[in-house]
């Protein structure tokens, strides 16, 4: 089983980077084939050009690589901060350019695009890890946790992902070193819990 880890944060010293690498290390320990992508470090361009909109459009090499990997992935981990109730632009652009028709979903014959599509991503677990500076009570009462609806309903289940697990770590701006260390350990434990079943079945390391 291959697991794609997608990181959307521009600062290598950020908690998001630490979380993503803690998860990466845990998955490698499990024996998973991890494809780690720091989108900002890769220079991933979030702007979807008109020439890429068509289903069969030719794709730049980096975008084509991401598309090929997400087709083959049996697991997905997404790490990003909560900025204005949304992911950073680089990650939104990854969704626009990679989770495209023919890769992540398709419309059935006779459907001109107005119906409900069929998700193409193979049954997988998606783990979404966020950081936030908004206390949980205020997030729910004032904003309604838009990232939950975005990732679970609007993106991942739309594309056929059956299990979506999400965790938000915060409040980051007032956190202590002890709290941050505990969050890193929790993120690693979440990855082990969600993907260890595949390892036990010999899926992560491609055993029969």
- 29 falls within a domain: yes
Mean pLDDT computed over every residue of the chain: 93
Question: Is residue 158 predicted with pLDDT exceeding 70?
Answer: yes
171-200 burial string, b = 16+ CB within 10 Å, else e? ebeebeeeebeebbeebbebbeebbbebbe
pLDDT at residue 201, rounded to an integer: 52
* CATH number of the domain where residue 151 is located: 3.40.50.360
Question: Is residue 203 predicted with pLDDT exceeding 70?
Answer: no
User: How many domains is the chain partitioned into structurally?
Assistant: 1
What residue numbers bound the domain in which 171 lies?
A: 2-107+116-200
- 205 falls within a domain: no
User: Are residues 124 and 84 in contact, defined by beta-carbon separation less than 8 angstroms?
Assistant: no
pLDDT at residue 197, rounded to an integer: 72
Residue spans of beta strands (DSSP E) within the chain:
2-7, 33-38, 75-81, 105-106, 118-119, 125-131, 163-169
Work out the number of other CB atoms within 10 angstroms of the CB of residue 46: 17
- 206 falls within a domain: no
| Residue found under tokens 């992540």 | 104
Work out the number of other CB atoms within 10 angstroms of the CB of residue 4: 22
Q: What does the block give as tokens for 184? A: 């890193």
> For residue range 134-147, what is the model confidence (pLDDT) as tens digits?
999 999 999 999 99
- 50 falls within a domain: yes
User: Are residues 31 and 205 in contact, defined by beta-carbon separation less than 8 angstroms?
Assistant: yes
- 167 falls within a domain: yes
- The residue among 194, 74, 71 whose CA lies nearest residue 129 is 194
User: Are residues 70 and 119 in contact, defined by beta-carbon separation less than 8 angstroms?
Assistant: no
Which of 29-43, 49-63, 101-115, 189-203 is predicted with the least confidence, judged by mean pLDDT? 189-203
Q: In this prediction, what percent of the chain has a pLDDT beyond 90?
A: 86
Question: In what helix (H) or strand (E) does residue 39 lie, and over which residues does it extend?
Answer: helix 39-42
- 208 falls within a domain: no
Question: Is residue 98 predicted with pLDDT exceeding 70?
Answer: yes
Confidence band of 200 (pLDDT split at 50, 70, 90)? low
Q: What does the block give as tokens for 68? A: 């090929």
Distance CA 40, CA 198 (A): 30
What pTM does this model have?
0.93
Distance CA 63, CA 86 (A): 22
Confidence band of 111 (pLDDT split at 50, 70, 90)? confident
- 87 falls within a domain: yes
- 23 falls within a domain: yes
């Amino acid at each position: 089983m291959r697991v794609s880890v997608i990181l959307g944060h521009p600062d290598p010293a950020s908690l998001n980077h630490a979380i993503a690498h803690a998860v990466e290390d845990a998955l490698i320990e499990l024996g998973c084939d991890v494809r780690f992508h720091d989108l900002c470090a890769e220079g991933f361009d979030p702007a979807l050009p008109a020439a890429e909109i068509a289903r069969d459009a030719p794709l730049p090499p980096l975008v084509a690589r991401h598309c090929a990997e997400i087709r083959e992935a049996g697991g997905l981990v997404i790490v990003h901060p909560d900025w204005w109730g949304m992911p950073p632009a680089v990650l939104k652009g990854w969704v626009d350019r990679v989770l495209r028709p023919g890769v992540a979903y398709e419309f059935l014959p006779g459907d001109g695009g107005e119906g409900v599509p069929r998700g193409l991503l193979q049954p997988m677990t998606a783990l979404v890890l966020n950081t936030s500076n908004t206390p949980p009570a205020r997030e729910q009462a004032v904003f309604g946790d838009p990232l939950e609806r975005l990732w679970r309903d609007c993106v991942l289940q739309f594309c056929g992902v059956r299990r979506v697990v999400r965790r938000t770590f915060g409040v980051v701006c007032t956190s202590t070193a002890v709290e941050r260390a505990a969050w890193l350990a929790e993120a690693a434990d979440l990855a082990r819990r969600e993907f260890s079943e595949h390892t036990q079945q010999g899926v992560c390391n491609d055993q029969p």
